[in-house]
Amino acid sequence: MKQDMILILDLGSEENPRLAREIRALGVYSEIYPHDITEEELKALPNVRGIILNGGPNCVVDGVEIDAGDHVYNGSVPVLLAGVKGKHPWPAEEEERKAALSRFVFETCEAKANWNMENFIADQVELIRRQVGDQKVLLALSGGVDSSVVAALLIKAIGKQLTCVHVNHGLLRKGEPEQVVEVFRNQMDANLVYVDAVDRFLDKLAGVADPEQKRKIIGTEFIRVFEEEARKLSGIRYLAQGTIYPDIIESGTKTVKAVKSHHNVGGLPEDLDFALVEPLKMLFKDEVRACGAALGLPDNMVYRQPFPGPGLGVRCLGAITRDRLEALRESDAILREEFAAAGLDREVWQYFTVVPDFKSVGVRDGARTFDWPVILRAVNTVDAMTATVVGIPYDLLGRITERITTEVAGVNRVLYDLTPKPTGTIEWE
Ligand code: XMP
């Protein structure tokens, strides 16, 4: 293994992910483990140069004071007991705190600043090969950032031992299924099973207007299709997943309560009993993107804006129809094109169109029309819990409106949603 590591043992502080990021920002790899890590688990971790025990107020969780085992304190690497209120607090000043952290990492632990993507990829390639040997691995490749980066990493590590399954559920953005095929099958020479399940999904969704019902149908059907494909392939032992560090942190640790449950794996039947390969599970989102770029994935895949799992399904309001879905896909493509041309694509967190399920009267070439409106949405946010509306220049709004009303069939109006979150949500359903 190429990288030195500083371990953070979690004594109940919510600050631990930030601390891990700060250490990585110093160029030294860092991971968070539960406070009750065993001697064997600790010994199995490679290149540990130091340990930071970082706790919340008095290290009390649910009324019980917690601490690490003696083997942690008596081991061969330096231990820093930090952040524990009333015991060994961090210096109050931000700069001093960072300096103290840096001194511990580089002077006390003598860690080398060798955390970079090249080394991370080399280590993961070795770990993946060690884990799966000559066995086969399956991956549901949506084309999103996380699954795409996992695919690229596994292709580098095990090539044709990986089978990627891309399910086109008909709710992807314009050009996305084609790009998945182009990048992974044509450029990276991967085993890629492309499943055209468009009719199947749209038939199941026909007439269903309730947003939660729509989400449920899309989720359930997705697992069914994937399961059917998995059964067609024989001898698969491993399932790769694009789990990333925030997914794990949000699921909670022993000492920090769960924010939301994490169930990427949910739903596969028990007889499809795969062992998991999750090579990105220790990366933060920006690190995942850097990893994808280092593996040669195209920029528009690596820097893609967030896109909901149910895809365009939650933006084609009410019961989905093919004509409105097409209007949605085309208007979204125009919006993305214009944002890219104006240089807004890297500045705005999320931007998309919505097509409601009502029509309004308009006029075209002197004749009355009765067509759909398209709603534009563009927001910035840090954590998606709250969001602000982006002020799009008026001439750009005008150009987008002009293009959508002339190029997209069945649309006669364009509206801009001025609502922040709250009171709106980012999506409309
Ligand atoms: P809301 O609409 O709740 O969205 O303000 C917050 C963020 O979550 C995304 N989102 C979803 N992502 N499945 C997902 O994977 C979903 O069902 C879903 N609904 C919303 C949304 O795009 C935004 O980034």
349-389 per-position pLDDT tens digit:
999 999 999 999 999 999 999 999 999 999 999 989 999 99
CA 379–ligand 1 middle distance (angstroms): 13
For residues 246 and 284, give the distance between their C-alpha atoms in angstroms, rounded to a whole number: 6
For residues 100 and 77, give the distance between their C-alpha atoms in angstroms, rounded to a whole number: 17
Q: How many CB atoms lie within 10 A of CB 77?
A: 17
Can you give the pLDDT at residue 172? 98
Closest Cα to atom 10, ligand 1: which residue?
308
Beta carbons of 219 and 257 less than 8 angstroms apart: no
Q: What is the pTM of this model?
A: 0.90
Q: Is 60 exceeded by the pLDDT of residue 400?
A: yes
Can you give the pLDDT at residue 259? 47
Closest Cα to atom 6, ligand 1: which residue?
384
For residues 5 and 31, give the distance between their C-alpha atoms in angstroms, rounded to a whole number: 7
Helix intervals (H) in 74-175: 94-103, 117-132, 145-158
Amino acid at 236: I
3-state secondary structure of 317: coil
Phi, psi of 118 (to 5 degrees): -60, -45
Can you give the pLDDT at residue 296? 97
Can you give the pLDDT at residue 248? 83
The ligand 1 atom at the shortest distance from the C-alpha of residue 309 is 15
Q: Which two tokens stand for residue 155?
A: 């292709």
426 CB near ligand 1 (under 6 Å): yes
The ligand 1 atom at the shortest distance from the C-alpha of residue 427 is 2
Beta-bridged to residue 381, according to DSSP, are none
Closest Cα to atom 14, ligand 1: which residue?
308
Summarize pLDDT for 231-288 with one digit per residue, the tens: 999 999 999 999 999 888 776 655 555 444 444 445 788 888 899 999 999 999 999 9
Q: Is 80 exceeded by the pLDDT of residue 308?
A: yes
Give me the torsion for CA of 295, 299, 303, 306, rounded to 10°: -100
**Looking at residues 327-340, what average pLDDT do you find?**
98
| E strand segments, 230-321 | 236-240, 275-277
The closest of 215, 182, 211, 181 to 196, measured between CA atoms, is 181
CA 131–ligand 1 middle distance (angstroms): 34
Q: Which two tokens stand for residue 381?
A: 């946010």
The ligand 1 atom at the shortest distance from the C-alpha of residue 349 is 24
264 CB near ligand 1 (under 6 Å): no
Burial letters 11-42, b for 16+ CB under 10 A, else e: bbbebbbebbebbbebbbbbbbbbbebeeeeb
- Best of 312, 379, 427, 429 for a ligand 1 pocket test (most atoms within 8 Å of beta carbon): 427
CA 74–ligand 1 middle distance (angstroms): 46
Can you give the pLDDT at residue 263? 43
